Chains A and B, each alone.
Chain A
Amino acid sequence: MLENQFPILKRKIRGHRLVYLDNAATTQKPVVVLEAMDEYYRKHNANIHRGIHTLSVEATDMYEGARDRVQKFLGAASSEEIVFTGGATEAINLVVWTWGHQNIHRGDEILLTEMEHHSNLVPWQELARKKGAKLKYIPLTKSGELDMAKVLGLLTRKTKIVSVVHISNFLGTVNPIEKIVKAAHKVGALTLVDGAQAGAHEPIDVQKIGCDFYVLSGHKMYGPTGVGVLYGKKEILENMPPYQTGGHMIEEVDYQHATWNVLPWKFEAGTAKIAEVIGLGAAVQFLNKTGLRAIKNHETQITNYALRKLKEVPGIMIYGPNTRGPVIAFTSDIVPAHDLATLLDQRGVAVRTGHHCTMPLHRKLGIQSSVRASFALYNTKADVDALADAVKLAIAKFHS
């Protein structure tokens, strides 16, 4: 069934079966997602909202239907709390440059972790620089988990926000976000959880987590590129100024002033990413139908098998904890990461190499780059075997 949903997996790369292990960068797209977007363009294409004609009403229903699906997917209390953005990065920037700009002042503290992706680091860094605020980081233990013993000491009455990745895109660590949210709320800080790597792999319930903001990346959860999600608690979103201004996000405009639309449209200026949102809605339906728990069980088996197979290869160093999400970054003591990725590609194995947008953490670990294999629901033990065999061949090549 899955193979029919992902025709790209039948491709041959340099004469080999494609083994796609770059899912943390982007997942492949199931046919149901491609068909949903195609059907919108073929049968219902129209701009949404305010349209009286049939196509516009249909397109609006499809777009807002996707919002309802995402709301249920995240366990949000209301669809007003679901804002569509251009991606997870834009969702974080939205919070930084609206809520952050309004609420963070000189001397305030922003608490991040040492494992943040640049997308949840650089925007806060820029805000802190402009405002004279202080950036602090929750350190990591040797095994690559957050040093929770240090969290309480880092939270002060000056801490205005704690922004934490749910699953690390480099270490695979699944962070105890509920505990962090509780601790942050005790000092009056808000919390943002970066769920870019969680959406396709982990059941999410924002009300249970208790976070104030949660962000998703559409294309990392079987949806199209160009769309992401910002979840925010209603009362917080209501008090935030708009991010971008222009069409659709207004209530009333005269030549000197404007007032803003209600949630969530206050944050969706301009023509929406209609096809992309509809595609994301189909992806969410696909995830629900397959079942996040079943997906997680399968991926955990594959990840554990891969950890075992890679540990058997001499000279391979694996980063991150034993219990983790479906991400394994590693280096070889013989083959530089970039060369290893090139040699894997020659065997049809697609992995990512570089710093994976976690440059400060790579430097802290004393490495320039690493190779990352990341798994999705369609990966199999045969894929892992292909990876391990290709790694062994690459090492042999550099030994020769």
Chain B
Amino acid sequence: MTDLYQPQILREYRNPKNTGVMKNPTHQARALNSSCGDEITVYLSAQGGSSSGGKILDIKYDARGCALTIASASFLSEKIKGKKTSEINKLDLKDVEKLLGTKIAAARQPCVLLPLDTVKKKSP
């Protein structure tokens, strides 16, 4: 089996991008991985404010979680900047695996999907 903890994942976990709290976000969502207690709050700033359909101008997230959740959140935050909701809603596990550069076993899929699911929950 392939090693989950590949260098690019550990690198991203140690130096995650776009972390923090956003003042006056247009959209905000919090989610919990109930199996382990990991949590993430995602802040979005979208073109056109809270109206729907706008592009994501900026994203920040505040996460307490495992290396896979943090790395996934970091890669995803870079990926969705400038994207429209319709494009974000099409993203799934395969895209997340592509971002992480490795296949994710079933037991850890909730970890890597937590950031994407949270973004989808509240994206404009």
List chain A positions with a Cβ less than 8 A from chain B: 14, 335-339, 342-343, 346, 353-355, 359, 362, 368-369, 397-398, 400
Contact = CB atoms under 8 A, between A and B. Distances in A.
Given A368-B64, A398-B10, A337 B4 contact: no
Contacts of A342: 4, 107-108
B5 A397 contact: yes
Contacts of B38: 338, 368-369
A369 B66 CA distance: 9
Contacts of A14: 1
A33 to B, nearest CB: 27
Contacts of A400: 10
Nearest to A356: B37
Interface of B: 1, 3-5, 10, 35-39, 64-69, 107-108, 111
Contacts of A355: 36-37
Contacts of A362: 37
A355 B36 CA distance: 6
A353 B36 CA distance: 7
Given A338-B36, A338-B111, A359-B37, A368 B5 contact: no
Q: Which 3 A-B pairs have the closest CB atoms?
A: A338-B66, A354-B36, A336-B66
B37 A339 contact: no
Q: Which of B35, B37, B68, B107 has the most CB of A within 10 A?
A: B37
Contact of A337 (B5, B39, B66): B66
B72 to A, nearest CB: 12
A354 B1 contact: no
A355 B33 CA distance: 11
A338 B5 CA distance: 12
Contacts of B69: 338
Given A359-B37, A369-B38, A338 B65 contact: yes
Contacts of B111: 338
Given A342-B108, A343-B5, A368 B37 contact: yes
B104 to A, nearest CB: 11
Q: Which of A14, A339, A342 has the most CB of B within 10 A?
A: A339
Nearest to A398: B10
Contact of A339 (B1, B35, B39, B68): B68
B35 A368 contact: no
Given A338-B111, A397-B5, A369 B36 contact: yes
Nearest to B10: A398
B65 A368 contact: yes
Given A338-B65, A342-B108, A362-B37, 17 more contacts: A335-B67, A336-B67, A337-B36, A338-B108, A339-B5, A339-B67, A342-B4, A346-B3, A355-B37, A368-B38, A368-B39, A368-B65, A369-B38, A397-B5, A398-B5, A398-B10, A398-B67
B12 to A, nearest CB: 13
A340 B37 CA distance: 15
A355 B37 CA distance: 6
Given A339-B5, A343-B5, A354 B68 contact: no
A335 B70 CA distance: 12
A214 B4 CA distance: 44
A83 to B, nearest CB: 30
A362 B65 CA distance: 14
Contacts of A368: 36-39, 64-65
Given A338-B66, A398-B10, A369 B5 contact: no
Nearest to A340: B66
Contacts of B35: 354
A354 B35 CA distance: 6
Contacts of B5: 339, 343, 397-398
A336 B10 CA distance: 12
Contacts of A339: 5, 66-68
Contacts of A359: 37
Contacts of B64: 368
B1 to A, nearest CB: 7
B15 to A, nearest CB: 13
A346 B4 CA distance: 10
Nearest to A399: B10
Contacts of B108: 338, 342
Nearest to A367: B37
Contacts of B3: 346
Contacts of A369: 36-38
A362 B64 CA distance: 13
A397 B111 CA distance: 19
